[in-house]
Amino acid sequence: MAKTVKQLLQEYVVGASGISTAEIIIPPDLKLGDYATNVAFILAKQEGKKPADVAGELKEKLLGTDLAKMADVEVAPTGFINFFLKTEFLDEEIKKDKKIDLGQGKKVIVEYSSPNIAKPIHIGHLRSTIIGDALANVYEKLGYEVVRWNFIGDWGTQFGKLIAADKKWHGNFSDTLKDPIQEMLRLYVKFHEELKNNPELEKEGQKEFKKLETGDEENLIIWKSFRSASLAAFRIIFNKLGIDSEKFVIKGESDYEPRLKPLIEELKNKGLAIESEGALIVELENMPPALLRKTDGATLYMTRDIASLEDRIQNYNPAKILYVVANQQALHFEQLFAVAKKLGWDSTELSHVKFGMVLGEDGKKLATREGKVVALQEVIDRITSLALETVKQKSADLSEEDENKIAHAVAISALKYNDLKQHPHTDIQFDWKAMLDLSGNSGPYIQYTYARLANILSKAGNGPWETSASASVDLEGKLIERKLVNYLDVLIECTTPNALNGLALYLYDLSALANRFYENVRVLDEPDTEKKNARLNLIKVVADNLKDGLGLLGIQTLERI
């Protein structure tokens, strides 16, 4: 398996120190080296010596290995060992194919988006969809087999109410309607408005759901129409977000309904599920019990999540399962994971990837003037409209069709990067101007950087450009090369907290270095052919790196903005 520079350095450090937990870090300042380790502190504590003295001893050991061909080794007065990668090594390293099979033979299930049918996808689904898709991309890049899981809400008494409303006020719901989601929403709202004056409607809804549960043919046909119309509408939104919905394994709560009663009996037989005040629960340590069945006999989301987890473990055998779901569901997943442990399902690593709310410019929860949840389509429309203004200002010679295509790509970039540049646990704020800033820490800024580099490469013709073996880029180029070798390590580090902000920041920093290079160094008009070609080759690597990284974040690169 190919190894990153960081992994190679770690092997040398572990070999010299004997400390298997020795870590390699990337210093915040290049003056402190390309990489560093604090392993001397660990050894010094064990041996009762000064860290700087131990670091000096380790340096001598390291210089007696092949590491000396990779890097210069320096000892800081504090005891840190700093590694400065050699020019020849850097030049060769950045030319290598950026692939690694860290997850070879391992499977990861990433559950994300997971909207409810018969309702529009809203702002609450945005972060789950963006974060989940980017995480799936990164794991795939690292060699894992990734299963993208969309667990939709398609079962429950609300569908009895919707069926009753359809029979009363529509009569023949069809998923071929121009806007079936809005029609379903209209029917559902009307049912609840009429319910205020006619409480008997509640019983009608319960009756229709009971018929659905028992397989009534008419109700199944109506429910299937609701479901297929919703999935079709979801695909339109996913497509606008640049997400391939065909990659999803789509499972609904309805898929697990037949499994719930047998599952509950098995839990009871194992002594895990017990009666409590008429309800059925699983008692858990240091947290409230998991409720499996209410006093009226109705099962809950927890029951269906256990059944779904059983399906994933038994039929997919994943190494990891990531649930990309909002912070508010933290207790639910703590309970689910605790139940899984009681069932002996501990060979799979279970992770709840939490995320905060979406806030408006005023710092308050993003909502309509009426206080309702904002439909995701409205958000996409607004950011696209603002992006179109930016595109028209930057490029006056584009056709209307090209303007719209570029504006859409810039808009989706602004949405996604604004989310992913921050740690998912935190709330994100919609500052529409900052999101589209072509000179700030934004997705469009990185897109614009790529477009500038692509323009240089287009004018230079097809590479690679021939240089002698000794040809090297100058100081500005060296700073870029040092950044380039960190790329795969950055991707690996994304999988530990399951957060993408490290990758987003990496791409921003690389873009800033590339723009400084672009502005300070002559390329196309450089008279020295060796220097010119070395710089063009470096620009090509940077452009490829930006394209790859943006692609992992789900962001499209553009040849011009």
- Which residues are designated catalytic? 119, 122, 125
d(CA 352, CA 345): 16
> By the 8 A CB rule, do 252 and 155 touch?
yes
**Other C-beta atoms lying within 10 Å of the C-beta of residue 559:** 11
Total residues found in the chain within this entry: 561
Q: Helices 443-460 and 529-552: crossing angle, nearest 10°?
A: 140
Q: How far is Cα 309 from Cα 315, in angstroms, rounded to an integer?
A: 10
What whole-number distance in Å separates Cα of residue 295 and Cα of residue 534? Answer: 73
List Cβ neighbours of 538 (8 Å cut-off, separation of 6 or more): 94, 473, 477, 480, 481, 517
What does DSSP assign to residue 412? H
Q: Where do runs of H (alpha helix) occur along 293-369?
A: 301-316, 330-342
SS3 track for 416-440: HHHHHCCCCCCCEECCHHHHCCCCC
Distance CA 158, CA 168 (A): 15
Q: How far apart are CA 406 and CA 175, in angstroms?
A: 32
Question: What is the C-alpha to C-alpha distance for residues 387 and 412, in angstroms, rounded to an integer?
Answer: 9
Question: What's at 318, amino acid-wise?
Answer: P
Query: Kind of pairing, strands 81-85 and 35-37?
Result: antiparallel
Residues in contact with 99: Cβ distance below 8 Å, sequence separation at least 6, in sequence order: 2, 143
What's the order of all strands across the beta sheet hosting 81-85?
Answer: 35-37, 81-85, 71-75
Helix, strand, coil shares, percent, the chain, to 5: 55, 10, 35
Q: Angle, to 10 degrees, between the axis of helix 400-420 and the axis of helix 501-520? A: 120
Looking up tokens 């049918």 gives 117
At what angle are helices 443-460 and 501-520 packed, to 10 degrees? 40
